[in-house]
Each structure stands twice: as C-alpha cells, then as structure tokens.
C-alpha cells in the first residue's frame, strides 16, 4: 500500500532556519535583487521591530515562506532551496555584515559565526564537515562572491563584475554595510541588540517537501513568480474563492482581478509601501482585533477567516476590495504628507521630519480620514504633538506603553466621531490625558536636552518648531517649518563650541564649559551667512549678528522688539517671557533653558489643559 508523501511546514525564526544548510540549485534564476529591494527589506524589518529607535516589546517581522526539499543522496543532506532564495540570501548577507561590523569595532559574536558557518557530519564517513550555511550552484562568480563575504575576505574588483548575480550580491552587501554604519555608528551595544532582535524576531514559514517534484508543485501553487506566501497573498486567494462561491458571473471575477491589481499598484508599485503593513493598519483602524500581542502580520489571515462572515468580507468580497482601494489612496496621500483630497497637510509633513519612516500613527489617520478637512487637520496637530512627546520622553521604551495598541484602541472611538464637539471630547479623553500623564517626564527630559543626547535632525526640529511658534504668535503668520529646517539656517552655539582660550577662561563656569555649551539653552537658529561671520566670537561681538537675524527667537536674545504701545508684538513678547541678555553666563544659559521649556510646553500642546 503506497503512502502519500508528506508536506510539512514550520514557523521558524531565522536563527532556527540557519541551523540547517541550504543550497540554491543550478536551475534557479540568479540573485536579482537591486539595492532598493535590499534597503526596503532591512528598513521594513528595522521599523517593525523598533518604535522611535527603541525595541518594541514582542514585535515580530514575518518574512513570508520558503519552499525546500532535503537532498537524499548528498553526504550531509542539505536543503535544496526552491523558493525564497532572494530573501534568504539577503538575510545571510546581513548576518555577515553584522559580524564584520562587530569585528571592526573589536567585538566578536560566536552566535553569528554559527549562523554563517556550521559543522555537519558526513553521513557516509562520520567525519565533520565545516561549511557555509548557504551556497549557490547556479553561477560560479556569484558563488565565489558569497563565499568571500562569508569568509570575511576582501572582494576582488574583477570578480564583482564577472556576472550579474556577482554584481548584485556586491551591491546588496554594500547597501547593508551602509545601513548598519548609518544606524549604529560605533555603538556595539545597540548593534548587538539589533543582531539579537533580527535573528530571533524575524520569522518565516519553511515548507518542506519530500522531493523536487513536490517542491516545484508547491512553489507553483504558492506563487508562480516565486514570491513568498504572505497574508496579502492568502487574502487574495480567500477573496477569489468567495467571489467564485457567491458570484456566478465571470464579470465579477474580472472586476475583482482588476481591483486587486489596482490595490497592489497603489500601495507597492507606485509608493513602494508594504501591502501587509497597510492591510494590518487598515484592519486595526476599522475593526475589532485582539491586541494582546499587537496583532502581528502573520495573524492577519487567521483574523480574516475567523471574522469574514461577521464583517461581510466573505459575503461581499468585491466591496471589501473597493474599501481597501479607497483606503489605500488615502494611505498613500498620508505617506506624502497630504490630506485625502491631495492637499498638503503641514502636520503630516512635520511628522515626516520628526519620525522619518515610522507610520504607527497611520492607524489613527485611517480611522479619522473621513472627518471634515479642518477637523482632520486638527487631529493631525495633536498626533504630531503626542508623537514628539513620546519621542523626547522615550516613554515607548516602557513595557506598559505600546503605541500600536494605544492607537488601535483609540480608533474604536475615533471612527465614530463626526462633529467638532465629538472630536474635542475625543481629544480630551485621549491626547490630553496622555500629555497630562507625561508632563513631568517632558519637563525633565527637555531641561536635560543637549546637542549630544538627541539626534541632530530632531534637535533642529525642536528649535525650528519653537522659532516658528514665536513668529506665528507675534505676527499672526509664519513660514513653513521647512524654511526653518533649511540648510541655510544653522544651529548656533551662543557660547562657542570651539572657544579660544580667552573665551573659555572668561566664562564664569570655565571648569564646566563643555557641559554648558551643549545645553539647549545655549542654542538658537541663525542664518548661515550671519553664523559664518560671527563664528566663535565672544558674546558681545555676536550681538550685532543676532540683531540682523530674521528670526525673532534669535533677535530677542539681544534686543526687545518694540512697535508702538500695547501692540500685539509687545504683548506677545511679554506673554512668551522672552528675555534680553546683556551678558552670556551660566546663569543666562540656565534661564534661557527655562524660557525654552515654557515655550516648548506651549508649542506641543501642554497649555490646553493647564
């Protein structure tokens, strides 16, 4: 009696995956990923595992699936990799890059070495075989490049250009190295932390078949183009199955095909955004989900099959896709800092300058996208404020704070908000309560701000927002934030960063000069042309330059603007407690630190509940 060959699947971390050995057979296409594909993968992984550059508790990244079969005739029974070689090869390159970066910094990781090179036993002789976890059979030049990288050897320039796959592997290798250097500089502690998160929280499904024939059949079933089976692929199959069950007309199936292609084109092809992240945020913003583990991507398909009837997804798959398309258009507008009608949204653009590629707040944007435009803009104002406060207080590093979970919970109420009064009530119960709870943490974090304990682009954002706020209050208008962030506007150290011996000696706290020069109270914005002319001069010589500045926040350090009696400008200067400093001492810096703190609390919304 014959038995049907078994096909087995395992949900594994990539650390688990690379306990085995893999070979990409010679009939496979070469390594074709471009630099953009590699950067997108590692970016997506980083921003899924981190929240405001701090690890997110229990966060995971689902890589899709690979299809393999075990060689029966080889001496050590490697897995033949039939689907997933682009992703697995890139992951292997990342292992090697982290190892080499650590070695460059004088550190060593045996766990990474184990994932790159292992010991197998020859099944015939029992001898140990030392070999790389991944090898290529389809291109000798590409195989040599990968082998050289795995061995930590310098790549030969001639070899790089020997074939397309060799060149692509080299460019991928460079892209990964650039990413690690930009993200971690020389911080071995954070690099090791990333290494641990990367190897243990990036997961995939390994589908193991008994032979090549079965592997190719599974490969074809999953996706004829070789893309792994993801929740977005499973959703597509689910919708098509239920379309065929509920609609007899071929026309409806054709419509679904067209609309699905439109959806993927909106999200990925036009905006290079992850369809799975969009789908996850859409579901979290529109439906009830279990938030105990922040609803990871691999649970999306299970949620759909369990709730398909409840939310009419199963009954009306075509309508569900139309809803997704509508949301995807709005989502892509948010990516570009725009409202759903395509007009600019200043607060979304500000968030981009503050947070870069972080998009957890899109959950709230999707939930509130049908608010009237002015109400939606008001919502975005509060989102920007809260995201900044979370960032500066590092509150999301606490185990009891999870932005994904918080925003998803708020979405339940937000999607029912329609009027101005309802929105104000919602903001009072959510944003204002959060700010109130963080008020003390904000004051403590802000008063400790220096130019060395916060990223420079965020420091520029802080000074720019304060400068913009002062001018908006004084003149009833102000320039766009991008003007204050332009390269022509520099961060000026009032107490010079590179002082002469005389300047340092004459400072009243000369022994503590280096700590005072870094304080935010010692910083302001100043036009490049003025900044270069006053350079590292003493404060008395800098005053003339400050008076020439267009920036009111800077001019007010040395002179108090006066326009008539009891004018708006004079009242605002008084209300904002801007102060003129005749001398620049440690007392002046501490006083200005307090002034900036009071301004910051107004800028980021704390005055709403004071």
What percent of the chain stands above pLDDT 90? Answer: 50
Of 407, 406, 337, 411, which is closest to residue 377 (Cα–Cα)? 337
Task: For residue range 38-47, list pLDDT tens digits in order.
Answer: 999 999 999 8
Indicate whether 1 pLDDT > 60. Answer: no
Task: For residue range 74-130, list pLDDT tens digits in order.
Answer: 555 788 888 888 999 999 999 999 999 999 988 988 999 999 998 877 767 777 778
pLDDT given at position 548:
93
For 455-591, list the strands marked E by DSSP: 489-493, 523-527
Indicate whether 184 pLDDT > 80. Answer: yes
Q: Average pLDDT, whole number, for the chain?
A: 86
Q: What does the buried/exposed string (b/e) look like for 53-62 if buried means 16 or more CB atoms within 10 Å of the residue's CB?
A: bebbeebbbb
More confident residue, 269 or 173: 173
pLDDT given at position 225:
40
Of 415, 332, 432, which is closest to residue 376 (Cα–Cα)? 415
Task: For residue range 227-276, list pLDDT tens digits in order.
Answer: 445 677 668 767 876 775 554 555 676 788 788 888 888 887 677 788 88
Task: Report in angstroms the alpha-carbon separations of 52 from 39, 47, 193, 380, 453.
Answer: 19, 8, 15, 18, 14
Task: Report in angstroms the alpha-carbon separations of 449 from 193, 454, 590.
Answer: 25, 7, 12
pLDDT given at position 274:
82
Whole-number Å distance between alpha carbons of 404 and 389: 16
Task: For residue range 149-169, list pLDDT tens digits in order.
Answer: 999 988 877 777 777 788 899
pLDDT band at 477 (very low <50, low <70, confident <90, very high): confident
Task: For residue range 290-309, list pLDDT tens digits in order.
Answer: 888 888 887 888 898 899 99
pLDDT given at position 127:
79
pLDDT given at position 307:
93
pLDDT band at 220 (very low <50, low <70, confident <90, very high): low
Q: How far apart are the first and last CA of the chain?
A: 81
Task: For residue range 408-422, list pLDDT tens digits in order.
Answer: 999 999 999 999 999
Task: For residue range 478-526, list pLDDT tens digits in order.
Answer: 889 999 999 999 999 999 988 888 888 889 999 999 999 999 999 999 9
pLDDT given at position 248:
53
State if pTM tops 0.85.
no
More confident residue, 267 or 368: 368
């Amino acid at each position: 009696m014959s038995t049907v060959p078994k096909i087995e699947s395992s949900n594994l971390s990539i650390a688990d995956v690379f306990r085995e050995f893999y070979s990409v057979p010679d009939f496979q296409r070469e390594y074709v990923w471009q630099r953009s594909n590699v950067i997108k993968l590692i970016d997506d992984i980083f921003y899924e595992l981190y929240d405001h550059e701090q690890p997110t508790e229990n966060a995971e990244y689902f890589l899709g699936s690979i299809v393999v079969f075990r060689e029966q005739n080889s001496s050590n029974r490697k897995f033949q990799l039939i689907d997933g070689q682009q992703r697995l090869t890139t992951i292997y390159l990342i292992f090697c890059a982290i190892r080499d970066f650590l070695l460059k910094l004088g550190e060593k990781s045996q766990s990474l070495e184990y994932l790159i090179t292992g010991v197998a036993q020859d099944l015939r002789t029992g001898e140990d075989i030392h070999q790389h976890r991944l090898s290529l059979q389809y291109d000798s030049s590409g195989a040599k490049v990968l082998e050289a990288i795995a061995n930590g050897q310098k790549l030969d320039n001639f070899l790089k250009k020997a074939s397309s796959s060799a060149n692509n592997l080299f460019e991928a290798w460079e892209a990964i190295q650039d990413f690690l250097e930009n993200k971690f500089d020389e911080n071995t502690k954070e690099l090791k932390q990333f290494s641990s998160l990367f190897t243990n929280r990036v997961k995939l499904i390994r589908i193991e078949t008994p032979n090549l024939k079965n592997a190719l059949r599974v490969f074809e079933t999953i996706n004829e183009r070789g893309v792994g089976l993801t929740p977005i692929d499973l959703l597509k199959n689910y919708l098509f199955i239920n379309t065929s069950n509920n609609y007899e007309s071929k026309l409806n199936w054709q419509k679904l095909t067209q609309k699905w292609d439109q959806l993927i084109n909106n999200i990925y092809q036009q905006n290079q955004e992850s369809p799975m992240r969009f789908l996850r945020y859409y579901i979290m913003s529109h439906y009830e989900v279990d938030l105990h583990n922040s609803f990871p991507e691999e649970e999306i398909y299970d949620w759909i099959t369990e709730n398909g009837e409840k939310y009419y997804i199963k009954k009306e798959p075509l309508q569900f896709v139309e809803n997704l398309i509508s949301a995807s258009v709005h989502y892509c507008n948010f990516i570009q800092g725009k409202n759903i009608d395509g007009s600019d949204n200043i607060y979304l653009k500000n968030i981009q300058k503050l947070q870069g590629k972080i998009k957890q707040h899109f959950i709230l944007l999707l939930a509130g996208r049908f608010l009237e435009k002015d109400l939606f803009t008001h919502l975005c104002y509060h989102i920007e404020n809260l995201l900044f406060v979370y960032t500066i207080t590092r509150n999301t590093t606490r185990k009891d704070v999870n932005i994904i979970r918080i925003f998803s919970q708020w979405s339940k109420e937000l999607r029912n908000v329609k009027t101005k009064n309802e929105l104000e009530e919602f903001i009072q119960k959510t944003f204002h309560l959060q700010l109130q709870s963080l008020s003390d943490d904000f004051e403590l974090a802000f008063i400790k701000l220096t130019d060395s304990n916060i990223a420079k682009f965020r420091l520029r954002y802080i000074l720019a927002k304060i400068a913009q706020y002062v001018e908006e209050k004084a003149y009833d208008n102000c320039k766009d934030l991008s003007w204050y962030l332009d390269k022509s506007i520099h961060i000026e150290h009032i107490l010079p960063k590179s002082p002469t011996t005389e300047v340092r000696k004459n400072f009243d706290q000369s022994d503590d000069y280096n700590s005072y020069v870094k304080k935010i109270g010692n910083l302001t914005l100043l036009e490049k042309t003025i900044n270069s002319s006053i350079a590292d001069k003493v404060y008395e010589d800098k005053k003339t330059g400050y008076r020439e500045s267009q920036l009111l926040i800077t001019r007010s350090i040395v002179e108090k603007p006066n326009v008539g009696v009891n004018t708006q400008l004079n009242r605002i200067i008084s209300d904002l407690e801007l102060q003129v400093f005749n001398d620049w001492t440690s007392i002046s810096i501490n006083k200005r630190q307090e002034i900036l703190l009071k301004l910051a609390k107004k800028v980021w919304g704390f005055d709403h509940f004071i």
